Structure 1
Amino acid sequence: MAASRDTGAGRSGGTARAVTRTLSDDPLGGTVRRTVLPSGLRVLTEAIPAMRSVSFGIWVAVGSRDETGPQAGAAHFLEHLLFKGTHKRNALEISSQIEAVGGETNAFTTKEYTCYYARVLDEDLPLAIDVMCDLVADSLLEPADVETERGVILEEIAMHDDEPGDEVHDLFARAVYGDHPLGRLISGTEETVTPMTRRQIQSFYRRRYTAPQIVIAAAGNLDHATVVKLVRQAVRGTPLDSDPATPAPHREATPAVRTRLATTVVEPKETEQAHVILGCPGIDRIDERRFALGVLNNVLGGGMSSRLFQEIREQRGLAYSVYSYASQYADSGLFAVYAGCAPGKVDEVLALTRAELARVAAEGLTEAEVARGKGMSKGSFVLGLEDTGSRMSRLAKGELLYGDLMPVDELLRRVDEVTVEDVNVLAAELLSRPMSLAVVGPFGAGDFAV
């Protein structure tokens, strides 16, 4: 389609041009448009007139894997600090201005990106844009706030240590990735957060939070040109109102992350329930087999009708929670099975899990199972688009993680094209890989073998 253009002034002076194009006019959604500002900042919107709300998010292509060892936890630390005050607003004003109109704000840090978002009534979108752009672009990072949030984060780390069901996932990542940043805690540790200085966080902020690394996404009852105009006004005069630049490319898939040999790691804790994860390295997020992996995961442990749930919980009553999952990054991935059960039942649960994985690797899935797994993939995806928050996230992730937004119809078609052979070839390869085991519970390191 022909590109339309929006004009405005940038920091470098003169007339700067922002290039806009329509990405899709989806019958299952609204019109999606993308504007690249001269600074390299990208703005994507999906206009859904039937909604009365708007979700607005600022996504930064920086996560915990971008930290050095001594910096571990810096991205998460920064996420906390950006809500503490800017040149225009203090911490109370940041939260109260959005809450006063019934809106909500929050943020989260992952291993590959950080997101700051707000959800408001459509008429309050200008306020949300101004507040969120202000806190991301122009935070003060006052020394007193650094010390306050350090205490908060240390409490968060301690709380996480008291949640063995969460801790075991981090233990498993460390078992597979070792000292690689993908194996580290997103929050950092007490040893890295305690000595972290304001100067280190400030340096991380200004080096990483640049316009080419940022995607702004909004979905709901909105007008694209108005959103672009409001964003440009909100960042004017801030570090994000920078000289002309090209948007940063999405994170590349090479070189592949080196993983550790299969191992067993145990965190001894006197818990009432044992938490175990059995799994292996998987595939990266742009691997063409990701659609087949979604189907395989659904059938193995993706719901109440899955093989593992039926065998371990429904038929034998050995665990309350049991499921499989796949995590995918730019250059790596994980596939794993989690179960929480009484300590005395761990051996039986692991034996049944191993047997089921081996059975699927050797015999594959049936045609009926693959059809059910495909239906689950399509249904969960479409049902997940029922709110503005998920639609906003879809825009940002498409741009930030893939460099493209796959239309809904195209994604559904890709799932439909998955064959029984596709799934079974992948299962034979993936589920035959040596498995690592992570355990949190009342055990010793020598109680398990891979």
Structure 2
Amino acid sequence: MPLAFELVAPGDPGSELTAGQDGDAIVRRSVLPGGVRVLTELMPGVRSATVGAWVGVGSRDERDGHHGSTHFLEHLLFKGTTRRSAMDIAEAFDAVGGEANASTGKEHTCYYARILDDDLPMAVDVITDMVSSPRLDADELETERGVILEELAMNDDDPSDVVHELFATAVLGEHPLGRPIGGTPDTIKAVPRAAVWEHYREHYNPRTLVVTAAGSVDHDALCAQVLGALTDGGWDASSSSAPTARRVGVDAPDAIAGIPTQGAQVTVRRTTEQANVIIGGTGLVATDPRRYTLSVLNAALGGGMSSRLFQEIREKRGLAYSTYSFASGHADTGIFGLYAGCAPAKVDQVTSLLEEEWERLANDGITAGELTRSIGQLSGGLVLGMEDSGARMSRLGKAELVFGELTNLDESLELIRAVTVQDVRDLAADLAARPRSVVRIGPFGD
């Protein structure tokens, strides 16, 4: 059975958990004073570690006037704390050959570092310091505003990035998940420091913080380091508060307010050598038990060189270099789509082929051979991915913030191998029956 994570107060039953994992790894979870959660996975024989500080806030949580603040904070927390300058932070990791970075999502933000095990205390201290006591200096904010605008401009120059952003907006409409994670040039230019500070104060606190680490890590020592660093950062980590509740999903993602009940047709004219096209619609929520079936479906349809999209559009017809299917899940909805980049003159033909392959999958399902190959592809990728401490650190964070439980490798493999041909066909038919959007970018005429 998966290891369940209850949202209990420090000291209550369930606040301290230990479980063996594959390859003699050991997972431990503690709920510390203040509601801070710490999860570690000890990987025997490893001399490195990856540590991450997760906050359960993403771009969907931004109130009016705060749009872009989540991504802004990802940048600003590296610009200095009350104890460290931006250069101090950079030098701390460069001096030991470590790597530090951050990522902003639609439902959570993570600040992480990969270092040698001897340098883990330093990494924990620096990252926890960044999270708990950032300066958010006004001058640095203005400098970073320019950096973020350049980042958005860089992404806007890549039509494959733009088509994915427009697709999410077309499918999810006015729902907060339909907004770009990084904000827009207009929101980044408009958001004041006061709004970024308010966003930080509202969402960054002990009850929302999850610290995960994997590799050569001592759980008890890490817990002590986290508490000490938070106290030094001025956070009150002494209460018996329980962690903030996880996001609650729903059973009918198409019925969510703000999500269009009909598909959209979006065409953006740009002077590019290629046209980029995505067709698709809503997918599964992150916790849907059919997510393992979706993984198999995705692998068979567009997940590798033997997939239907790759074989039909690239190998057989030579119409595209890149074509694939993709899916992402959130607490109350998800998206599913099929992508291809092709010559502008071929975009109608390629769009038709994407739709035909999707419909063929929904009507006829996959073959036994495709099922076997897809399960093998997913199983191999899962096992290989678990060789990396960063992947295991991320798995712990998502298990705590999204799923509320940790499924070990053998259990995950069993769930993938339990998927049947009929399961894939039923899910493909469900997805194909939902409102469908088509988004295209290219040098199209009128």
TM bin, normalised by shorter chain, reads over 0.9
Distance in 1 separating the partners of 2:411 and 2:388: 20
1:13 corresponding residue in structure 2 = none
Q: Is the 8 A contact 2:65 2:195 kept in 1?
A: no
Residue 235 (str. 1) matches residue 198 (str. 2): no
Q: Match for residue 320 of structure 1? A: 321
Matching of residue 51 in structure 1 with residue 43 in structure 2: no
Structure-1 residue corresponding to 2:117: 122
Hey, what does 1:390 align to over in structure 2?
391
Name the stretch that deviates more: 280-289 or 431-440.
431-440
Match for residue 288 of structure 1? 289
CA contact (8 A) 2:284 2:333 kept: yes
Query: In the TM superposition, what whole-angstrom CA distance separates every residue of 1:354-393 from its partner, at most 9, and x where no partner exists?
Result: 1111111111111221122112222111111111100100
Equivalent residue in structure 2 for 1:188, among 174, 183, 189: 183
Deviation at 1:20, TM superposition (A): 5.3
Aligned to 2:375: 374
What is the Cα-based RMSD across aligned positions, in Å?
Answer: 1.5
Aligned to 1:166: 161
1:61 is aligned, of 50, 56, 71, to 56
Instruction: Tell me how far 1:123 sits from its aligned partner.
Output: 0.4
Distance 1:424 1:289 in 2: 12
Identity %: 50
Residue number in structure 1 paired with 2:265: 264
Query: 1:403 & 1:361 partners in 2: Cα distance?
Result: 32
Asked if 1 retains the 8 angstrom alpha-carbon contact of 2:24 and 2:44, the reply is no
Mark the runs of 5 or more structure 2 residues left unpaired by the alignment.
1-9
Aligned partner of 2:98 in structure 1 is 103
Offset at residue 29 of structure 1 (A): 5.4
> Partners in 1 of 2:371 and 2:420 — Cα distance?
8
1:91 and 2:86 matched: yes
Alpha-carbon offset, residue 112 of structure 1? 0.5
What is the distance in 1 between the residues matched to 2:380 and 2:209? Answer: 31
The secondary structure found in structure 2 opposite 1:186 is coil
**CA gap 1:241/1:291 in 2 versus in 1, 3 angstroms:** same
Inter-partner Cα distance in structure 2 for 1:88 and 1:240: 14
Offset, 1:249: 2.1
Distance in 2 separating the partners of 1:381 and 1:248:
30
Task: Give 1:321's aligned amino acid.
Answer: S
Q: How does 1:174-253 map to 2 (within 5 A)?
A: 174-242=169-237, 243-253=239-249
1:5: which partner in 2?
Answer: none
SS across alignment from 2:398: helix
Q: Is 1:38 aligned to 2:39, yes or no?
A: no
Deviation at 1:237?
Answer: 4.1
Q: Is the 8 A contact 2:285 2:330 kept in 1?
A: yes
Matched residues in 2 for 1:124 and 1:186: separation?
A: 32
How many residue pairs match? The answer is 430
**Letter aligned with residue 294 of structure 1:** S
Instruction: Note the alpha carbon deviations across 1:343-364, whole angstroms, 9 max, x for none.
Output: 1111111111111111111111
Is the 1:252–1:330 contact (alpha carbons within 8 Å) kept by the matching residues of 2? yes
Q: 1:413 to 1:23 in 2, by over 3 A?
A: farther
Sort the Cα spacing of 1:30 and 1:213 in 2 relative to 1 into closer, same or farther, 3 A.
same
Post-superposition CA distance 1:281-310 (Å, at most 9, x none): 111111111111110110000000001100
Q: Is the 8 A contact 1:28 1:408 kept in 2?
A: no
Q: Deviations over 1:100-131 (max 9, x none)?
A: 01101000101010000011000000100110
Write the distance in 2 (CA, Å) between the matches of 1:332 and 1:135: 32
* Aligned-pair CA distance for 1:184: 0.8
CA displacement at 1:173 relative to structure 2: 0.5
- CA drift of 1:404 comes to 1.2
Counterpart for residue 353 of structure 2: 352
**Is the Cα–Cα contact under 8 Å of residues 358 and 432 in structure 1 kept in the other structure?**
no
Q: Deviations over 1:196-238 (max 9, x none)?
A: 1111111110110111111100001111111111111111143
Comparing 427-436 and 407-416, the one that deviates more: 427-436
Separation of aligned partners in 1, 2:382 and 2:22: 15
Q: What one-letter code is carried by the residue in structure 2 that aligns with 1:67?
A: E
Distance 1:17 1:136 in 2: 24
In 2, distance between residues paired with 1:240 and 1:274? Answer: 50
Question: 2 CA distance for matches of 1:184 and 1:216?
Answer: 27
Q: CA deviation at 1:244?
A: 2.6
Deviates more, 1:218-227 or 1:251-260: 251-260
Q: Normalising by structure 1, report the TM-score.
A: 0.93
C-alpha contact 2:287 2:402 (8 A) present in aligned 1: no
Q: Which amino acid is 2:332 matched to? A: D
- Residue number in structure 1 paired with 2:416: 415
The superposition leaves residues 317-354 of structure 1 with CA deviations (integer Å, 9 ceiling, x where unpaired) of 10000000111111101110010111111111111111
Paired residue type of 2:306: S
Q: What corresponds to 1:4 in structure 2?
A: none
Q: TM-score, structure 2 length as denominator?
A: 0.93
Give 3-state SS (helix, strand or coil) of 1:39's partner.
helix
Q: Which amino acid aligns with 1:248?
A: T
2:22–2:408 Cα contact (<8 Å) kept = no
- Maintained 8 Å contact 2:99/2:114: yes
Unaligned runs of 5+ in 1: 1-15
What's 2:437 paired with?
A: 436
